[in-house]
Structure 1
Amino acid sequence: MIDPKKIEEMASKIHAALPPGIKSLGEEVDKKVKQVLQAQLNKLDMVSREEFEVQTKVLLRTREKLTALEAKLAELEARLQDKAE
Structure 2
Amino acid sequence: MLDPKKLEEIAKQITDAVPPEVKNLAEGAEAKVKQVLQSQLSRLDFVSREEFDIQNQVLIRTREKLQALEARISELEKPNS
**Alignment TM class, shorter chain as reference:** 0.5 to 0.7
Question: In structure 1, how many angstroms separate the alpha carbons of the residues matched to 2:51 and 2:32?
Answer: 29
Superposition pairs of residues 5-84 of structure 1, within 5 angstroms = 24=22, 25-78=25-78, 81-82=79-80
Question: In structure 2, how many angstroms separate the alpha carbons of the residues matched to 1:67 and 1:57?
Answer: 15
Which aligned runs of 4 or more in structure 1 are off by greater than 4 angstroms? none
Q: Which 5+ residue runs of structure 1 have no aligned equivalent?
A: 1-22
Question: In structure 1, how many angstroms separate the alpha carbons of the residues matched to 2:71 and 2:29?
Answer: 62
Larger CA deviation: 41-50 vs 53-62: 41-50
Question: In structure 2, how many angstroms separate the alpha carbons of the residues matched to 1:26 and 1:73?
Answer: 66
Larger CA deviation: 63-72 vs 23-32: 23-32
1:42 positional shift: 1.5
1:45 positional shift: 2.1
**Aligned residues with identical type, % of pairs:** 59
Aligned residues: CA RMSD? 2.0
Please identify the structure whose Cα radius of gyration is greater. Answer: 2
Q: TM-score if structure 2 supplies the norm length?
A: 0.61
Q: Which 5+ residue runs of structure 2 have no aligned equivalent?
A: 1-20
Letter matched to residue 33 of structure 1: V
Letter matched to residue 82 of structure 1: N
- Say which structure, 1 or 2, has more relative contact order (CA 8 Å, 6+ apart): 1
* Matched length: 59
Question: In structure 1, how many angstroms separate the alpha carbons of the residues matched to 2:29 and 2:64?
Answer: 52
Matched position secondary structure for 1:82: coil
